[in-house]
Amino acid sequence: MSDDRMAKQYLDLAARAGARAFGAAEPNPLVGAVIVKDGVVIGVGHHRRFGALHAERDALLACRSGGHDPRGATLYCTLEPCCHHGKQPPCTEAVIEAGIERVVIASRDPGEVSGGGWALLEAAGIRVELCAASEQAMALSQPFLHRVATGRPWVIAKWAQTLDGRIATRTGASQWISNPRCRGRVHRLRAKVDAVMVGIGTVLADDPMLTARDCRNVRRVPKRVVLDTSGRLPRDSKLVQSAGEIPTIVYTADPMRLAGTAVIAEGSELDGDRLDLGWCLGHMHRVHGIATVLSESGPRLLGSLLERALIQEALVHVAPGVMGDAQAKPVAVGREVPTLDGMRRFRLLRTKRIDDDVELHYRSC
């Protein structure tokens, strides 16, 4: 087997391990690590939750717990080992002390604090290589790299649609297009993100709670975020009434309209006569520590997010029905696309049949 094929195999394994911590490790990156010696995997680890052992130390612990000696081995890691003291000591120290001979990584760490591990490892005589053979390993680090590069959270857009691309009837009825199992999967996803975001149109139409109430294993209780330019959020809405129990952030041009409620009203910068969505997302990340957002958007908000290229993932549930009504609500509105060059393109990651519905999972190109 060629070096690239072996590296892909081990980095894919590391990526699958790291992905298990989605919803537990953030705002830290998802990271997986595999230790290989003489062609045999002797340790697999990942960063299990925020504040816990980093992936490299977790893999070394698994290695030694299994009675193996890591000296002379190769470490495959989805992200460059860190070299700073935080909630955990530097991973580079553990790698050097363990006698690892070679380190293969899928992505460099661009962080001003955490980056620099490569140089320290090389200075200690360890051979370090960057390998792009594993798409899984590189994809695992993308949310973290995106946050570092943009200062904004990773945005997952979710919607349910008919076969003809409609998300609601002409009167706004949408409950329910997708089947119960699909809705259960959405609740489990809510239980892994930092915030669930909607526009005011969705609140006025559905009066949602935006909780993970049907999920048994709640890794985190997501904040609720409402984008409401003119402050139309009803005081008797479920979101306002439960804001004392679940943090609810409202971005608006007129925060005083929500005075006296338990919501966190944030005055937003404007883009013309609408909220500046890029500013809002940056503020969520910077002020409220939000690393991942599930956007359960209506057509107008989704169109605005697409227009500004602010969506990194899309989760689509397609139901086996056709409305056939030109006035039924489409997936997205508000954009002008005179040529196909203006179409936002996504790459299909996977599909899953859920009874008669189909789940499509995409990432932006």
Highest CATH level, class, for 3-146: alpha beta
Confidence check: pLDDT of 87 > 90: no
Contacts of 125 (CB under 8 A, 6+ apart): none
Domains 3-146 and 151-364 share a fold: no
The per-residue pLDDT for range 306-326, each reduced to its tens digit, is 999 999 999 999 999 999 999
Give the 3-state secondary structure of residue 321.
coil
Query: For 201-209, what is the mean pLDDT?
Result: 91
Residue range 151-364, CATH number: 3.40.430.10
The catalytic residue among 26, 56, 80, 296 is: 56
CA 132 from chain centre, in angstroms, equals 21
Reply yes or no on whether 93 is catalytic: no
What is the 3-state secondary structure of 208-220?
CCCCCCCCCCCCC
Residue 115's pLDDT band, with cuts at 50, 70 and 90, is: low
Q: Where are the domains of the chain?
A: 3-146, 151-364
The per-residue pLDDT for range 119-131, each reduced to its tens digit, is 899 999 999 999 9
Helices (H) and strands (E) in the chain, counts: 10, 18
C-alpha to C-alpha distance for 103 and 39, rounded to whole angstroms: 15
Would you say the pTM of this structure is higher than 0.95? no
The per-residue pLDDT for range 326-338, each reduced to its tens digit, is 999 999 998 888 8
Confidence check: pLDDT of 114 > 60: no
